[in-house]
A and B are shown apart, each in its own frame.
Chain A
Amino acid sequence: MRAWLRLLLGGAALAVTLPGCFSSNKNQGERLYVQHCSGCHGEQGQGLARLIPPLAGADYLAKHRAELPCLLRNGQNEPIVVNGIGYNHIMPGNKALSPAQLTNLLNYIESHWGNQSVPRTIREVQQQLEACK
């Protein structure tokens, strides 16, 4: 009887502490997108006319896959061509995002609005960040 009670108590304690082991990173990519990117690139990645390039269905994402972590971290201020249209608008970087956050953010962008890319790993993103110019 006592052993049974202990088991129950132990189980209850585990049930309380276990969720703490998992971080609340679910949907982090989407939250980061809404917070840092959607103002310019739009809630559906649609961009803005010929001022801000779209992310939805953008050939740029696949063509420059390895450069994207550095692009997000350092921003850019040069003309770029997306889906055959030239854009020339400054994009601010965000140095505060960790490799894990950048991974989640890119995986979100690259798997929504018709985009379909192989998911990135944090390790892959970390290596690409080390090679930033």
Chain B
Amino acid sequence: MFKRLFLLPLLAASFFTACTGPGAETARLPILGERDVRPRADGGPADTVFAKVPAFKLTNQNGEVITNQTFAGRAYVADFFFSTCPGICPKMQGELLKVYNQFAKDQRVTFLSHTIDPAHDTIPVLMDYAQRLGVTDASRWQFATTGGHGEPSAKDTVFQLARAYFTAAEPDKDSPGGFAHNGTFALVDDQGHIRGLYDSLNAKEVERLLAELPILLAEIDSRKQAVARK
């Protein structure tokens, strides 16, 4: 009986380490994409330039123009869908709706869904889609098109943009609805860097997004505090 008592200190020790263990060091999400190393003109240590979401100009469900600037200073979650998609989109948008509902009141993060079918998904169609999903405030979740003003290159533009967000999207006659795409969620930080990619069709991946979003928000908060101190 008393032989087991020697385990007590071990048990006590494990309690203490449990308190100081993992939480103490701040986790940090990686910056995804190719990085560029640029030598400095003055011969100093070379600068590392991290990939960013390229410049974009979209029109949202209210007919308002939105650009990278619209999202600057905040985190956002982006995906690619089309309103008539009979395949993975309802599942994907349903998952994003879950994430949205958890962060609906948190102004530090917004949501952006791009249509990959700009010919069909006009601004009224996007508006209807958003409302049916229960999204009434466009500034919280933007449903956006590259073809809001009848741009002839709208389709190419959105496919290019999808690639920049690491989402595969292209026209495909054999796919349901005429487009082949995967349901990737991209988590973008306040400076336009992609910090996480998540497969919306996998419940564990969506959980990972829910866990990692607060990590990014904390990082953005600390960046803002550092700026404020200066």
Contacts and interface: CB of A to CB of B under 8 A. Distances in A.
Interface of A: 39-40, 42, 48-52, 75, 89-92
A73 to B, nearest CB: 15
By secondary structure, the A interface counts as loop
Interface of B: 84, 86-88, 90-91, 93-94, 97, 129, 131-134, 176-177
A42 B97 CA distance: 13
A40 B133 contact: no
Contacts, number: 39
Contacts of A90: 84, 86, 177
By secondary structure, the B interface counts as helix
A92 B176 contact: yes
A48 B86 contact: no
A50 B134 contact: yes
Given A51-B93, A92-B87, 10 more contacts: A40-B90, A48-B133, A49-B132, A50-B131, A50-B132, A50-B133, A51-B90, A51-B133, A52-B90, A89-B86
A25 to B, nearest CB: 26
Interface centre among A40, A75, A92 (most CB of B within 10 A): A40
B94 A48 contact: yes
A21 B69 CA distance: 67
Nearest to B132: A50
Contact of A39 (B84, B91, B129, B131): B91
Contacts of A50: 131-134
Contacts of B131: 50
B86 A92 contact: yes
A39 B88 contact: yes
Interface centre among B87, B90, B91 (most CB of A within 10 A): B90
B179 to A, nearest CB: 13
